[in-house]
Chain A
Amino acid sequence: EVVLTQSPPTLSLFPGGRATLSCRASQTVDTYIAWYQQKPGQAPRLLIYDASNRAIGIPARFSGSGSGTDFTLTINYLEPEDSAVYYCQQRRWGPLTFGGGTKVEIK
């Protein structure tokens, strides 16, 4: 199965700043990567699919890029509500797999 490795484990940033989250796949997944946001006690929320497409209702502050094995989620103009754990997920090769997550803390 495809292993997704996310880095860094934790990011601590100020409001208004920029967060850059990385997801690396153990083999190419083309652009079949999604990003999710999860807050405590809630289900994951789809942010980005196919590497760079925002899901309905997701602010333009969230953007995704990458292809092959290296992917990035960028969050601009950080807001306190962006505090969460972010996961990547691939659908190129079965079974679907998720990364271990990056926790974003807003100072």
Chain B
Amino acid sequence: QVQLVQSGAEVKKPGASVMLSCTTSGYTFIDFYVHWVRQAPGQGPEWLGVINPKTGSISYSPKFRDRVTMTRDTSTSTLYMELSSLRPDDMAVYYCARDLWDNGGYYPRLWGQGTLVIVSS
């Protein structure tokens, strides 16, 4: 079955960077866009951006464009998301999520289990 398995929890100091991974299986990796979405405690989800694994093209949310980098490794069917210049308000659960359709429908459909990122001095 389709799975997105994310890396484990991270604890970082303010100003540091964090890189998260999302390893996919059960489908053709290059066929579906993958989104990164975060959710702070008690808040609604917040979209960081989306990557097309086939071409590597990316659309970032303007809010994060200067701090986020999304990449993919087609040989291992893995996506990566790096967030730099971390602040305490970046503390959240970060999710990767595969799109609903294979042409970039922009509805996150199948979600990873999430990675908790704690930012604390």
Give A residues with C-beta under 8 Å from B: 1, 34, 36, 43-46, 49, 55, 87, 89, 91, 94-101
Q: Smallest Cβ distance from B20 to chain A, in angstroms? A: 14
Interface contact A43-B111, CB-CB below 8 Å: yes
Give B residues with C-beta under 8 Å from A: 35, 43-47, 49-50, 59, 61-63, 95, 97, 100, 105-109, 111-114
Cα A34 to Cα B63 with chains together (Å): 22
Knowing A43-B114, A46-B108, A46-B109, say if A96 contacts B47 (CB, 8 Å). Answer: yes
Cα A43 to Cα B43 with chains together (Å): 13
User: Which of A44, A87, A91, A99 meets B105, CB within 8 Å?
Assistant: A91
Knowing A91-B105, A91-B107, say if A43 contacts B46 (CB, 8 Å). Answer: no
